[in-house]
Amino acid sequence: MGADPFEAAITVTRVLDESGALVRGAKKPDTAALSEGYRRLVFARRLNEQAGALVRQGRLAVYPSSRGQEACQVACASVLGEHDWLFPTYRDTAAIAARGVDPVEVLTMLRGDWHCGYDPVAHKVAPQATPLATQLPHAVGVGHAARLKGEDTVVMALCGDGATSEGDFHEACNFAAVFRAPVVFFVQNNKYAISVPLARQSVAPSLAAKAIGYGMPGIRVDGNDLVALQRVLGDAVARARAGEGPTLVEADTYRMEAHTNADDASRYRTEDEVAGWVQRDPLVRVRTYLTEAGVLDGAGEQEITAAAEDMAAGVRARLGEEAAVDPDELFAHVLSVPTSQLAEQREALRAELEFEEA
Ligand SMILES: Cc1ncc(C[n+]2csc(CCOP(=O)(O)OP(=O)(O)O)c2C)c(N)n1
Ligand SMILES: [Mg+2]
């Protein structure tokens, strides 16, 4: 750690400011890479919108939107290599899609299926965790195990601001720091844990500052600045891969929509507050920079929008199909040796279904 570990943990790292201009003294981004990043941001936003619409159409049970957090979603996926692991939460559908997993497979769980929809091992993406922070010790375990096996795998472990109050967060950070596990803890501080605002969650100087107590670096970054996120997370991944241990990165961002479609955010925050963050939209910032740099024009924008529409249409069509469900599956994989009650219930359901069909 540097001479003053608090400085990086408290000062927000930024490359593009809210108006889309390069921050004084910052290194210019590579415009080809940033164009690809912009495309992914547009896809992530479109996926959020499509999933929200599918809930209203009754095709998904629930959807926790990451609108406003798309730069975080894209950045955390884009800095990982093929053999690295991502440990997401329920809010990170867009990050999993940005990693290359078919969005329909990702959304299968939210459709009410009993499994996570994609193959975690094939994609190196753990199932989306709904119990807060429980995925973090698992992520550390995977990283530590890889290191013991001599592999250079890095694990990106995601959580929210609220999850940093959980015991599992503490245990994961402590274990990772002590054993120098190759983990990047990436906290998307979107200012709320459902209705609980950050001020009632923690009075630490910042969430990144918590890292210092564990003996690892904590870095605070503008969570609506794709370029800054990719640099900070990329550096943290490189540190982990080099055997230098974990880093805690806190992204300063905002959940622009309600917690899920089942939540009414107007009960705990003002429209003015939301409007202030809409001004800091992560997509607009990159679009402005690329337009000013002469890399993105109207035709380019149209092409990206059309491609995102195609993706959304495919998701819509496939999730619009009636799912073929086998009610009997409800009883499979519960216990290796079913109890007599379970067997009775299975029989009762089978008899009832046969009766209905007859
Ligand atoms: C262990 C546990 N406690 C409570 C809940 C209920 N719960 C679901 S989401 C949530 C808020 C989490 O906030 P945060 O960690 O900031 O993530 P965000 O939803 O903002 O992405 C809570 C309390 C839960 N899922 N798991
Ligand atoms: Mg939160």
Tens-digit pLDDT profile for residues 51-61: 999 999 999 99
What band does 78 get if pLDDT is binned at 50, 70 and 90?
Answer: very high
Give me ligand 1 centre to Cα 126, in Å: 18
**Does the pLDDT at position 3 exceed 80?**
no
Report the distance separating Cα 13 and Cα 24, nearest Å.
12
What band does 2 get if pLDDT is binned at 50, 70 and 90?
Answer: low
Closest listed ligand to the CA of 91: 1
What band does 219 get if pLDDT is binned at 50, 70 and 90?
Answer: very high
At 224 the pLDDT is 98
CB of 161 closer than 6 angstroms to any ligand 1 atom: yes
Give me ligand 1 centre to Cα 238, in Å: 30
Q: Is 110:122 a contact under the CB 8 Å cutoff? A: no
Pairing between β-strand 155-160 and β-strand 12-13 as defined by DSSP bridges: unpaired
- Ligand 1 atom at shortest distance from the alpha carbon of 189: 16
Give me ligand 1 centre to Cα 214, in Å: 23
What band does 270 get if pLDDT is binned at 50, 70 and 90?
Answer: very high
CB of 131 closer than 6 angstroms to any ligand 1 atom: yes
**Does the pLDDT at position 327 exceed 90?**
no
Give me ligand 2 centre to Cα 191, in Å: 5
**Does the pLDDT at position 233 exceed 80?**
yes
Percent of the chain beyond pLDDT 90? Answer: 91
CB of 348 closer than 6 angstroms to any ligand 1 atom: no
**β partners of residue 129:** 89
**One-letter-per-residue 3-state SS of the chain:** CCCCHHHHHHCEECCECCCCCECCCCCCCCHHHHHHHHHHHHHHHHHHHHHHHHHHCCCCCCCCCCCCCHHHHHHHHHCCCCCCEEECECCCHHHHHHCCCCHHHHHCHHHCCCCCCCCHHHHCECCCECCCCCHHHHHHHHHHHHHHCCCCCCEEEEEECHHHHCHHHHHHHHHHHHCCCCEEEEEEECCEECCEEHHHCCCCCCCCCHHHHHCCCEEEEECCCHHHHHHHHHHHHHHHHCCCCCEEEEEECCCCCCCCCCCCHHHCCCHHHHHHHHCCCHHHHHHHHHHHCCCCCHHHHHHHHHHHHHHHHHHHHHHHCCCCCCHHHHHCCCCCCCCHHHHHHHHHHHHHHHHHHC
Give me ligand 1 centre to Cα 73, in Å: 18
CB of 223 closer than 6 angstroms to any ligand 1 atom: no
| Ligand 1, atom 26, residue with closest C-alpha | 131
Mean residue pLDDT across the chain? 96
| Ligand 1, atom 19, residue with closest C-alpha | 193
**Does the pLDDT at position 1 exceed 60?**
no
Give me ligand 1 centre to Cα 74, in Å: 21
Q: What average pLDDT does this structure show over 193-201? A: 98
17: closest CA among 286, 267, 217, 315? 286
For residue 335, what are the CA distances in angstroms to 135, 274, 339, 340, 343? 23, 47, 8, 11, 11
Which of 132, 171, 268 to probe ligand 1 with, by most ligand atoms within 8 A of CB? 132
* Structure tokens given for 58: 């009754």
What band does 332 get if pLDDT is binned at 50, 70 and 90?
Answer: confident
Torsion angle in degrees (nearest 10) through CA of 234, 94, 10, 14: 70
CB of 130 closer than 6 angstroms to any ligand 1 atom: yes
Report the distance separating Cα 134 and Cα 167, nearest Å.
9
What band does 128 get if pLDDT is binned at 50, 70 and 90?
Answer: very high
At 122 the pLDDT is 97
At 325 the pLDDT is 80
At 297 the pLDDT is 97
Report the distance separating Cα 140 and Cα 157, nearest Å.
8
Q: What average pLDDT does this structure show over 62-88? A: 98
**Does the pLDDT at position 242 exceed 90?**
yes
CB of 265 closer than 6 angstroms to any ligand 1 atom: no
Report the distance separating Cα 7 and Cα 294, nearest Å.
35
Torsion angle in degrees (nearest 10) through CA of 312, 254, 239, 76: 0
**β partners of residue 251:** 188, 221
The structure's pTM equals 0.95
What band does 112 get if pLDDT is binned at 50, 70 and 90?
Answer: confident
* Structure tokens given for 269: 């925050």
Among all residues, which ones are annotated catalytic? 255, 259, 268
Report the distance separating Cα 97 and Cα 314, nearest Å.
14
Q: Is 48:100 a contact under the CB 8 Å cutoff? A: no
Closest listed ligand to the CA of 262: 1
CB of 73 closer than 6 angstroms to any ligand 1 atom: no
**Does the pLDDT at position 260 exceed 90?**
yes
pLDDT digits (tens, 9 = 90+) for 130-151: 999 999 999 999 999 999 999 9
Which of 194, 200, 202, 250 to probe ligand 1 with, by most ligand atoms within 8 A of CB? 194
CB of 132 closer than 6 angstroms to any ligand 1 atom: yes
What band does 182 get if pLDDT is binned at 50, 70 and 90?
Answer: very high
